[in-house]
């Protein structure tokens, strides 16, 4: 037994810390608010309604970034999207 363990019998080794922290991190990662789940489910319908200036539909990441930008500006998303150069799909 190493000297550190004899002086500090409750000293945690790297393995002990891993065995304690890993399940805690998994539990934390598994927590998801219902609000997040509903907004993710609603995104594709809103996403399909808009087109970039090139005529292509924005990716989910682009749409999320544009939505966050509009929310940060505090404006209505329709007006803000138009201001950012998006067009309604026809």
Average pLDDT, rounded, for the chain: 74
* 10 pLDDT more than 60: no
Say which residue, 16 or 81, is predicted with more confidence: 81
pLDDT tens-digit readout, 33-48: 554 444 444 445 677 8
**Rounded CA gap, 21 and 42, in Å?**
34
Residue 7: per-residue pLDDT: 59
Residue 20: per-residue pLDDT: 76
Q: How many CB atoms lie within 10 A of CB 50?
A: 20
Residue 39: per-residue pLDDT: 47
The alpha-helical segments, DSSP class H, found in 8-58 are 14-30, 34-48
pLDDT tens-digit readout, 14-40: 777 777 787 887 777 777 555 444 444
12 — pLDDT class (breaks 50, 70, 90): low
Helix and strand tally (H, E) in the chain?
A: 5, 2
């Amino acid at each position: 037994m190493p000297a550190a363990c004899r002086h500090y019998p409750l000293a945690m080794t790297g393995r002990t810390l891993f065995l304690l922290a890993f399940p805690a991190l998994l539990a934390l990662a598994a927590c998801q608010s219902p609000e997040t789940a509903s907004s993710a489910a609603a995104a594709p319908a809103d996403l399909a309604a808009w087109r970039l200036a090139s005529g292509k539909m924005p990716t989910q990441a682009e749409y999320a970034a544009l939505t966050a930008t509009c929310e940060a500006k505090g404006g209505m998303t329709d007006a803000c999207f138009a201001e950012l150069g998006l067009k309604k799909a026809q």
